[in-house]
Structure 1
Amino acid sequence: MFKAPEFWYHKTGRAAAPALRTALSPLGWLYAKATAKKLADTIPVNVGVPVICVGNATVGGSGKTPVTRYLLESFTRLGIRTVGLSRGYGGREKGPVRVTSKHTYKDVGDEPLLLASAAPVWVAAGRDEGARAAVAGGAQLIVMDDGHQNPLLMKTLSLLVLDAETGFGNGRVFPAGPLREPATAALARADAVILMKPSLDFRPEPDLLHALAGKIVIPAHLKPLQKPPEGKVFAFAGIGRPQKFFDALRRAGADLVDALAFANHKAYAQTDLKNLLDLAGEYKAQLITTEKDYVRLPKGFARHVTCWPVKVEFEDELTLRRILHPVIESMRR
């Protein structure tokens, strides 16, 4: 599993690692060229139902999963048979397979397990095969998690989720930077941008807002579903940007004595878990982690950890619903 290098999020100075960035840039050009060719050469499949894609322009976490869960829950409440579709990153299942209570993160990945609490979820390495299986199973609408650079399915609506703190990073394509493709290319295929802020009062950099000019931008932030536990807490997380989780705990008033960051989608070994218990014990603190990390913990260990769930809150939900309305209307014709 991968931990994003710090230089990805700096444009100038020593922290930007200019020599390393320059050395890696040719690989970034090749990566961008391969992505562009794949997008240009692939004829997307129309599976006969609307497909809403929730994707991003960068490697790592931006807040896609809470947005996907929101959509699954919202359409399901309307009585629409809505299904999530994921590639199941980190899982061994190639699919198509529907996620059940018998699956673990080792089978289907952590994100599909979280989403399956909101609606049925299919996992498939080939998104077209997964979509066909979902439709055969009665799906009226598909919400595809993390598919902005995947051209296999015809998309009815593409939502690009962007971290308001880091934006497009240093503006370079992987591995020279965090981008999966040039920012302009990703924005060109997006119907709207969900700008995920760390808090309601956060103000994005003017340069980022300038880059988003001309696009529909819907600000959002993640809101805790419960208060942090009383007393000292020791946090750990293996997500795209663990620091976001640690900062959120502090903003919520947690007595955070220390924190440990792991690589995204970290598969915790027994030694990791023992070390965490020992470290928390030194502080006489409770262990706390994210929902995504919690589903990757062995059951015997999970009882020692507090899970801190969050949900997405849109600051302009009316605009979002206005964008979604044509999708709903098309299904009623």
Structure 2
Amino acid sequence: MNWRQELERQWYAGGAWSDLLRPLGVMYCAAAARRRAQAQRSPAVLPSIVVGNLTVGGSAKTPVSMALLQYLQAQSWHPAAISRGYGAHPPAEPYAVMPGDLPQRAGDEPLLLRSVAPVYLSRVRHAGIAAAAAAGHDIVVLDDGFQHLALQPSLSLVLLQGEAPLGNGRCLPAGPLREGKAALQEADALLCDPAAATSPDLTDIARPIFRYEQQVTRLSPLAGPEQELPLALLCKRQIHAVTGIARPERFRHTLESLGAQVSMHAFPDHHVFRQHDLAQLPPPLVMTSKDAVKCRHIDDLPETWVLEIGIRWESAFRVWLDQRLASLRNPQ
């Protein structure tokens, strides 16, 4: 375990390094609160739904954004996704992501979002939304936009996971928080996995709390995503899991719940895979959809499968969301 992994462990389990860094965390929280209080925010030219979190690292923002985009399409909206494009190097901004783009140009998460809806990259979110409006879209979903304080969104959803969804309650670098717990009061609703929904960390937050779950939807070959493989292929099978995501242990647990015997090969979040990263691993390899978009251009890979994850939210959230969408479609 390197120093970074140890520090991240202490964000949830406690330890001397986190204690030593606590004064810096207090200053970070204070600066974040001041920035939020002083922000000059303005609404977008289109209805906008922000999907964000309070902690660093993965919290299912992209899968939830994809589920929202698909839900909006089913409700006869014409949505687009807006992304900062972490790790992307587009030729200009705003940039409309193309299906054949490489991850070096478009980023991994925008490419995954592009599989369900058009995506516009822009660090200035208002400019990305304006580009979506010019292309005929009537609503946008912002993947990871809760801390983008130039925008006053129509709806703001914050995702929380795990029994300690706020970790040790400290801000960076002493803990995992991007800003203090009080910022949750700025959200319109909290979307929590089953563990977070009952966490005492959230008992004093006066916002609606809805549950969601991540579910395995299908297994497919990397080289032939249109083909569906039986999940039973994983049962009692020795597989090599390859990840470049923020929380690789969650992927391990998912595979083990399907009966797989897992050897993990965890790379840093957003890692851009090269052939030499994978060529020496014995098949079968299994990866997430987010990693798959970074590997489809690699030739001569061993047998590689993609485990796709979907989102199911409780019916109460659907009722709440429908009411809010109705008000956006027909503003008073």
TM range (shorter): 0.7 to 0.9
State how far apart, in whole Å, the 2-side matches of 1:312 and 1:288 are: 20
Note if 1:305 corresponds to 2:294: no
Q: Which residue of 101, 107, 110 corresponds with 2:108?
A: 110
Structure 1 range deviating more: 78-87 or 300-309:
300-309
Aligned to 1:288: 286
Q: Secondary structure at the match of 2:50?
A: strand
Percent identity over paired residues: 32
Is the contact made by 1:3 and 1:262 (CA closer than 8 Å) also made in structure 2? no
1:327–1:107 CA distance, 2 compared to 1 (3 A): same
- The superposition leaves residues 257-313 of structure 1 with CA deviations (integer Å, 9 ceiling, x where unpaired) of 4112221111223432234x2xxx2xxx41101111111124315563111001011
Q: CA deviation at 1:206?
A: 4.2
AA partner of residue 188 (structure 1): Q
Aligned to 2:263: 258
State how far apart, in whole Å, the 1-side matches of 2:196 and 2:326 are: 33
Aligned to 1:238: 244
Aligned to 2:228: none
Note if 1:120 corresponds to 2:125: no
Structure 1 range deviating more: 64-73 or 297-306:
297-306
State how far apart, in whole Å, the 2-side matches of 1:27 and 1:302 are: 45
Structure 1 range deviating more: 300-309 or 286-295:
300-309
State how far apart, in whole Å, the 2-side matches of 1:128 and 1:251 are: 42
Is the contact made by 1:242 and 1:261 (CA closer than 8 Å) also made in structure 2? yes
AA partner of residue 241 (structure 1): R
Q: Map 1:95-174; keep pairs closer than 5 Å.
A: 95-174=93-172
Is the contact made by 1:8 and 1:169 (CA closer than 8 Å) also made in structure 2? no
Note if 1:207 corresponds to 2:200: yes
Is the contact made by 1:45 and 1:128 (CA closer than 8 Å) also made in structure 2? no
Unaligned runs of 5+ in 2: 219-230
State how far apart, in whole Å, the 1-side matches of 2:266 and 2:185 are: 34
AA partner of residue 299 (structure 1): I
State how far apart, in whole Å, the 1-side matches of 2:290 and 2:164 are: 21
Aligned to 1:229: 233
Aligned to 2:57: 60
- The superposition leaves residues 144-188 of structure 1 with CA deviations (integer Å, 9 ceiling, x where unpaired) of 110111112121111000112441111111111111001222x11
Q: TM-score, normalised by structure 2?
A: 0.86
Is the contact made by 1:39 and 1:150 (CA closer than 8 Å) also made in structure 2? no
Aligned to 2:70: 73
Aligned to 1:274: 279
Structure 1 range deviating more: 256-265 or 84-93:
256-265
Q: CA deviation at 1:61?
A: 0.1
- The superposition leaves residues 17-50 of structure 1 with CA deviations (integer Å, 9 ceiling, x where unpaired) of 22x2133223323333333333233322322321
State how far apart, in whole Å, the 1-side matches of 2:188 and 2:3 are: 30
State how far apart, in whole Å, the 1-side matches of 2:311 and 2:232 are: 17
Q: Secondary structure at the match of 2:233?
A: coil
1:84–1:302 CA distance, 2 compared to 1 (3 A): farther
AA partner of residue 120 (structure 2): W
Q: CA deviation at 1:325?
A: 2.1
Q: Secondary structure at the match of 2:249?
A: helix
Q: CA deviation at 1:8?
A: 3.9
Q: Secondary structure at the match of 2:321?
A: helix
Q: Which residue of 25, 32, 35 corresponds with 1:35?
A: 32
Is the contact made by 2:108 and 2:294 (CA closer than 8 Å) also made in structure 1? yes
State how far apart, in whole Å, the 2-side matches of 1:324 and 1:303 are: 45
- The superposition leaves residues 90-134 of structure 1 with CA deviations (integer Å, 9 ceiling, x where unpaired) of 111262011112312111211111111111111111111111111
Q: Which residue of 302, 316, 319 corresponds with 1:318?
A: 316
Q: Secondary structure at the match of 1:223?
A: strand
- The superposition leaves residues 233-262 of structure 1 with CA deviations (integer Å, 9 ceiling, x where unpaired) of 1112111110001101111222x2411222
Q: TM-score, normalised by structure 1?
A: 0.86
Q: CA deviation at 1:9?
A: 4.8
State how far apart, in whole Å, the 1-side matches of 2:24 and 2:196 are: 33
1:25–1:308 CA distance, 2 compared to 1 (3 A): same
State how far apart, in whole Å, the 2-side matches of 1:103 and 1:3 are: 35
State how far apart, in whole Å, the 1-side matches of 2:128 and 2:318 are: 26
Aligned to 2:224: none
Unaligned runs of 5+ in 1: none
